[in-house]
Homo-oligomer: A and B are copies of this chain.
Amino acid sequence: MNAREKIAALRKLMKKNKVDAYYVPSADPHMSEYLPECWKHRAWLSGFTGSAGEVLVGMKKAGLWTDGRYFLQGSIELKGSGIDLMRMGEPGTPSKVQWLAAQLKKGQSLGVDASVISVSAARSFDEGLAAHGIKVKYFTPNLVGELWTDRPDPVLAPMVNHPVKFCGEKVESKLSKVRAAMKDAGCTAHVVAGLDQVAWLLNVRSKDISFTPVVTAYAVVTNRAATIYVDSRKVGKGIAKTLKGKAVIKPYDSVWDDLKKLGGAKKSCVWIDESCTNRRVVDTLKGAGIHSAASPITALKAVKNAVQIEGFAEAHRRDGVAMVKFLKWLETAVPAGGQTEITASDQLAKFRAEGEGFKDLSFDTISGYAANGAIIHYSATKESCAKLKPKGLYLIDSGGQYPEGTTDITRTVPLGKPTKRQIECFTRVLMGTIDCTMIPFPAGTTGQRQEMFARRALWAIGEDYAHGTGHGVGQYLGVHEGPHSLKNIDTPPLVEGNILSVEPGHYESGKFGIRIEHLAFVVRDEKHSTADKTWFTFHPVTLAPIDTSLVNKKLMTSDQVTWLNQYHKRVYKELSPRLDAGHRKWLKKATKAI
């Protein structure tokens, strides 16, 4: 079936189910950032393969809502599908609610698979459409799933233990913290729906999703028990033994019966996190009191303990070795010819894979040469990728998954002689990276304010970057992790043990892109903290040289220059024992003080 035929078939099912429109989001039941293949309903139906996009199908029209990153790709992939491309953020593009209000009459209804929409997103539909007299019917099974006869099976990789030697905290300790939070909130149970939350809480990992080693599972924590609901075929003897006495293991689909019982229990008050819990969970809990708030796991998970902090440091030493090999390789491979954005990122992945304990990349590498470097979410394809030539700038943003920690690093390197403009912009981006990392900030400061330090040197010349400065990072979990961030949004104050990326950039459309990114821990600033007031600062864990041929020292303050030289000294000190003589020599030169 092509997209047009699939949509026609879906409309028949819609009629049968008495709904006048149907919603097909890009989501799994756990609101994951990266989807397992078997949950890519939207891609299967529409043919559009971008990471972000939602489809609405009415009886006459259909539309796909996506953002500016995917306007070009969407217009190509949707050709002939009968689905209109809805360019979000462009003037005149209707919102989903506005579009539905135009397509549907009063009293008609929208159908939604309750298991692939979050409680909060469902509320937006309910409230927005009520004003137009349109009803929302939540039900399972998924109508697209019924048509998708060759839908891939779920991944059955085994669930494994993430040992305390890496994560630094026993399941019992984590459960008691969650129960203490439940008690404070007056809750009798907490349904844990976010996959990274389940993984952190029960120290389990798997390979269900690309880049993020989570297990597809729900967990339910009560005062007496913890239960994990997971496909039985993923549960070997080892993990069953490890979890014994800590959590009961039940089949994935049995969660619905148990939630129903929980709803029917006397005086039950269930904690759910609306952002990562699907609507079906709340519907199934009918009868229970609902406490809606961010899961207590979110804040706990974001504060790394001493074992994790050392683990991240070790992961970054290995990652740094791979980066050094890659940066040295670039210097000869590019002039030798035959390299592309793809061969280069493959080479870096190969260097990473040589490292001890390497498990996977932590996200799709962004390998952008020249003008492609200016496309913030650029994804090179084998067919269209650029050849690397010995001129212009090259930007590579990549990361790895190690059981000790997750990495995420961006470096920008000149493949030939850089221009004056490129040097000025690189220096100002670097000044932002340094200021944001180096300047102490008092306890209570949010990332929304702190990230201004990263922008200052660029703003001073009227330049800015259209993305946040940084995000939290999980340990051998999601490379993007809340609740904290360095963005223009309201997030909780930064606290000791948080780890964030610091990644200002500068992009000149059609010309070049610059970004410098490292991960850094929020640490207590001993020099400035007093008995009354705690000051924090960032300690970078990423270890790789920053190209000094792109630096104009004259623009920098002496403090910034000192920081860069000390950082480079540390990079050499920590990485050189792991390198052979040739790479050591190269690194010595690359980290020379300016």
Query: Which residues of A line the B interface, CB within 8 A?
Result: 435, 439-442, 448-450, 452-453, 456, 459-462, 464, 488, 490, 525, 527-529, 535, 557, 559
Q: Are B488 and A449 in contact (CB under 8 A)?
A: yes
Known interface pairs A459-B439, A462-B528; A490-B488 also in contact (CB < 8 Å): no
CA–CA, A442 and B557, complex, Å: 24
A-B contact pairs, 8 of them (CB 8 A): A440-B460, A442-B459, A456-B456, A461-B528, A462-B525, A462-B527, A462-B529, A462-B535
Return chain B residues, CB-CB under 8 Å to A529: 462
6 pairs of A and B residues whose beta carbons are closest in the complex: A462-B528, A452-B452, A440-B462, A462-B535, A449-B452, A442-B464
A427 to chain B minimum Cβ distance, whole angstroms, is 14
Return chain B residues, CB-CB under 8 Å to A435: 456
Q: Are B559 and A460 in contact (CB under 8 A)?
A: yes
Return chain B residues, CB-CB under 8 Å to A449: 448-449, 452, 488
CA–CA, A149 and B442, complex, Å: 51
CA–CA, A321 and B453, complex, Å: 37
Return chain B residues, CB-CB under 8 Å to A450: 452
A419 to chain B minimum Cβ distance, whole angstroms, is 20
CA–CA, A488 and B450, complex, Å: 12
Return chain B residues, CB-CB under 8 Å to A535: 462
| Residue from B439, B460, B528, B559 in contact with A439 in the complex, judged by beta carbons closer than 8 Å | B460
Per assembly, the copies of the chain total 2
Return chain B residues, CB-CB under 8 Å to A557: 557
Return chain B residues, CB-CB under 8 Å to A459: 439-442
CA–CA, A277 and B10, complex, Å: 54
CA–CA, A557 and B460, complex, Å: 12
A218 to chain B minimum Cβ distance, whole angstroms, is 33
Return chain B residues, CB-CB under 8 Å to A439: 456, 459-460
CA–CA, A165 and B536, complex, Å: 52
A505 to chain B minimum Cβ distance, whole angstroms, is 15
CA–CA, A449 and B452, complex, Å: 7
CA–CA, A529 and B461, complex, Å: 11
CB nearest neighbor in B for A555: B557
CA–CA, A143 and B557, complex, Å: 64
Return chain B residues, CB-CB under 8 Å to A441: 459
CB nearest neighbor in B for A527: B462
Return chain B residues, CB-CB under 8 Å to A448: 448-449
Return chain B residues, CB-CB under 8 Å to A452: 449-450, 452-453
A532 to chain B minimum Cβ distance, whole angstroms, is 11
Return chain B residues, CB-CB under 8 Å to A464: 442
A68 to chain B minimum Cβ distance, whole angstroms, is 14
CB nearest neighbor in B for A452: B452
CB nearest neighbor in B for A440: B462
CA–CA, A462 and B453, complex, Å: 15
Return chain B residues, CB-CB under 8 Å to A527: 462
CB nearest neighbor in B for A557: B557
A555 to chain B minimum Cβ distance, whole angstroms, is 10
A255 to chain B minimum Cβ distance, whole angstroms, is 35
A125 to chain B minimum Cβ distance, whole angstroms, is 24
Return chain B residues, CB-CB under 8 Å to A442: 459, 464
Return chain B residues, CB-CB under 8 Å to A461: 528
CA–CA, A508 and B292, complex, Å: 45
CB nearest neighbor in B for A559: B460
A559 to chain B minimum Cβ distance, whole angstroms, is 7
Return chain B residues, CB-CB under 8 Å to A453: 452, 456
Residue among A435, A528, A559 with most chain B CB within 10 A: A528
Return chain B residues, CB-CB under 8 Å to A490: 490
A35 to chain B minimum Cβ distance, whole angstroms, is 32
A55 to chain B minimum Cβ distance, whole angstroms, is 31
CA–CA, A525 and B464, complex, Å: 14
CA–CA, A218 and B453, complex, Å: 45
A413 to chain B minimum Cβ distance, whole angstroms, is 28
A344 to chain B minimum Cβ distance, whole angstroms, is 32
CA–CA, A449 and B440, complex, Å: 16
CA–CA, A459 and B527, complex, Å: 12
CA–CA, A452 and B459, complex, Å: 13
CB nearest neighbor in B for A442: B464
CA–CA, A448 and B442, complex, Å: 15
CB nearest neighbor in B for A450: B452
CA–CA, A528 and B440, complex, Å: 30
Return chain B residues, CB-CB under 8 Å to A559: 460
CB nearest neighbor in B for A462: B528
CA–CA, A443 and B488, complex, Å: 14
CA–CA, A435 and B529, complex, Å: 25
Residue among A450, A453, A559 with most chain B CB within 10 A: A453
Return chain B residues, CB-CB under 8 Å to A440: 459-460, 462
Return chain B residues, CB-CB under 8 Å to A488: 449
